[in-house]
Every structure is written in structure tokens, then in C-alpha cells.
Amino acid sequence: MRHALSLVFAAALVACAPSDTTTQTEDDALQPSTASGELNLYTSRHYDTDLALYDDFTEETGIAINRIEANANSLIERIVSEGEFSPADLLITVDAGVLWRADEAGILSSVESDTLNARVPANLRHPEGRWFGLSKRARVIIYNKADGRPDGLDSYEDLADPAYQGELCMRSSGNIYNMSLLSSIIAHSDPEAAEDWAAGVVANFARRPQSNDTGQIEAVASGECGISVVNTYYLARHARSDDPRMREIVDAVGIIFPNQDDRGTHVNISGGGVTTHAPNRDNAIAFLEYLTRESAQTYFADGNNEYPVTDDVIGNAAVQALGDFKEDTLDVSTFGPNQTQAIQIFDRVGWQ
């Protein structure tokens, strides 16, 4: 499937994201080092909670973390261009589909770790240890509470029902969350059925695909559209906000965990993998193992409103308030290989 990488990059490559003031920008060079006290981290995560994780790891181990923050595809391209001289030790990003792109580019190496294998469920890590899930998020259906829960809306497949014509707001087809969702539908059915579903969803659009998950929540809350699909941590973030307007917005939407009567709700991950030419490989593995410890998993749950990947930590109160649900246990490593088909389907059905 390596020949598919260029198509995926063409569909998804965007400009480098800005770094914060404590972080080297993508233009700043990390120098390769064989010092045992360093770790060169390339990450597309941009959450304040992660900074506390880095600080705690350094305080505990003495290993200094040098990090570059950027868009995931930009980081992958950079590591590819740096080749064997890349200083990168570890790549951390969101979505199993992006981790697949990194693996297809040949920049991730296999890791044998009894600790990681014990803590990270098999369906949330690469089968050969080239990346490991570090946190989870579920992709749920939301609706406008004032209009009531739409009759018969219980699954992702139901979104294609003509009964909901003119009701759906969705993100663009280039969004990795949508690619992975469609990839999972392909895995659970077949490409033909998945294309029929995508065509039905397009027929139900209330507007041209646009904005991010926050924009979808606001559009449903305002009544601009009646139904959308978003990641759970956006909802919990609104619920925990100090801004009363944010809390009012999330209070105006209802939540449906799809497919509870069959396969369960689609779940994706943030994850990380050790690079092929990591100069500080042992430190990178140690950091991955640290991120699956109870204390670090609590940071993910409390700080960014994500679900932990381990069984010994529960989500914060806002995440728990979203409700219990049955997860789809489909191996997330299948999302990537189906990406090319997903992009082609989106193009054919006119999902912009």
C-alpha cells in the first residue's frame, strides 16, 4: 500500500501549525544526539496538559524533551526528508489513519515492550509495535435538543436515511476523522455499501461541508442544522468551560452513541511511534511506557477530556456525564489501509 501514500498526502497535506513560545518551531533544528538524557519529540498534539506530562517525565527521569510541534503531515514529510540523519526519536499524533501514513512512509520502527503490550489493548496498537494508542475519543451523533431526538436515528448508517434530508452538517471529506469513520464502515461492510452510505449522507446535507467539530456543535445548537457527528472530547470541553456561552451551547445538543445494538461506537486514538533512525531510542520507548502509566493516563482523561486506553483509569466527570457506551473493537490499524478507497468514495459522491 505504499504507493497510496502520495494520494493521501495530496488530499490531506496542510501548512505547518504554529508552535508555542516554549517550543521550537519546525524551522528550528534539533540536533542529533547520543546523550542518554535527551529525547527529540515531533508532535502534532497542542494541548496544555501535554506540557505537564513532559515536565513530570523530565523531573522523574532527568531526560530533557526537545520538541517540535507542527501539522502531522508536515512532520512526516520532514522526517522523510531528514532520512537517516533525522534527530526525531518519537512521533506523536492524532488518529490511527495518520499513524498509518507515517508507517507507510517508512519512518516508524517496531518496538518490543511487554509493558506497552500489557497496557494498550491489541486493537489500539500496531500489530508489529510500530505505534501505540495513548488516548481514545469516540465519534458520536449530536442533535438539537429543542427539536427532540430524531426518530429512528440510532446508527451511523441511519445518517443516510432520506428522512433526514436537509438536516446534516458535516466536516469536509479531507478531514481525517471522516476518512477514518468511512474506513471503518468499509471494513464492517464493503466498498459498495460504504459508497451508498456516503452518497446518502451527501443527499442529506443542510449546507456545504465546512468548519471543525466545534463549528458542528454550534451549528446544531443554533438550529442551523439538526444533526452532526463530532468527537466526544469537544463536548466535554464545552461542558467544562468557564465561558457560560460554551456551556449553553453544549446544553442545547443531545448525544447519541451510535450502533449500540450491533458493533458499537467508532473509536479512534492519539498515539505514538518510535522513529526508524531514533538516536535516543531507549528514551523514546521509556517515554511511551510512561504515557501509559496511570498518572499519565489521568492527565489525558482530566486535561484533554479523552478516554484512557488503559483499564485502570476512568474519564473525568464531564466525560463520564456523556454516558456509558459500547465501543467498536475493530482494530484501528485497519483505518489506514482503507483511506485511499475512502478518499475515492468521497470524491465520487461529491462530499467536498
pLDDT recorded at residue 55: 93
Angle 236-209-260 from CA coordinates, rounded to 5°:
50
Nearest CA to 293 among 313, 273, 307? 313
Residue 174 class from Cβ within 10 Å (0-12 exposed, 13-18 middle, 19+ buried)? middle
Q: Report the C-alpha gap between 76 and 96 in whole angstroms.
A: 14
Q: How many CA atoms lie within 13 A of 69 on its CB side?
A: 15
Q: How far apart are the first and last CA of the chain?
A: 25
Asked if 334 and 123 touch (Cβ cutoff 8 Å), the reply is no
Over its C-alpha atoms, the chain yields an Rg (Å, rounded) of: 20
Q: Note the pLDDT of residue 311.
A: 84
pTM of the prediction?
0.89
- Are 23 and 66 a contacting pair, CB within 8 Å? no
Query: Position 98: which residue type?
Result: V
State residue 301's pLDDT score: 82
Has domain 2-136+268-315 been given CATH number 3.40.190.10? yes
Would you state the cell numbers that stand for residue 30, as one nine-digit string?
A: 534539533
Give the pairing of strands 90-94 and 267-274: antiparallel
- The residue assigned the cell 453544549 is 250
- List, for the chain, all residue ranges whose pLDDT scores fall below the cut of 70: 1-36
pLDDT at 3: 39
Where in the chain are all domains bearing CATH 3.40.190.10? 2-136+268-315, 138-265+340-349
User: What is the distance between the alpha carbons of residues 20 and 7, in angstroms, rounded to a whole number?
Assistant: 31
In CATH terms, is domain 138-265+340-349 a member of 3.40.190.10?
yes
At residue 39, φ and ψ (nearest 5 deg) are -145, 125
Q: What span, in angstroms and rounded, lies between the C-alpha atoms of 159 and 143?
A: 12
Rounded to 5 degrees, φ, ψ at 224 are -60, -35
| Residue-wise pLDDT tens digits, 193-202 | 999 999 999 9
Sign for the CA dihedral angle at 83, 47, 256, 167 comes to negative
User: Do residues 318 and 144 make contact, with C-beta atoms less than 8 angstroms apart?
Assistant: no
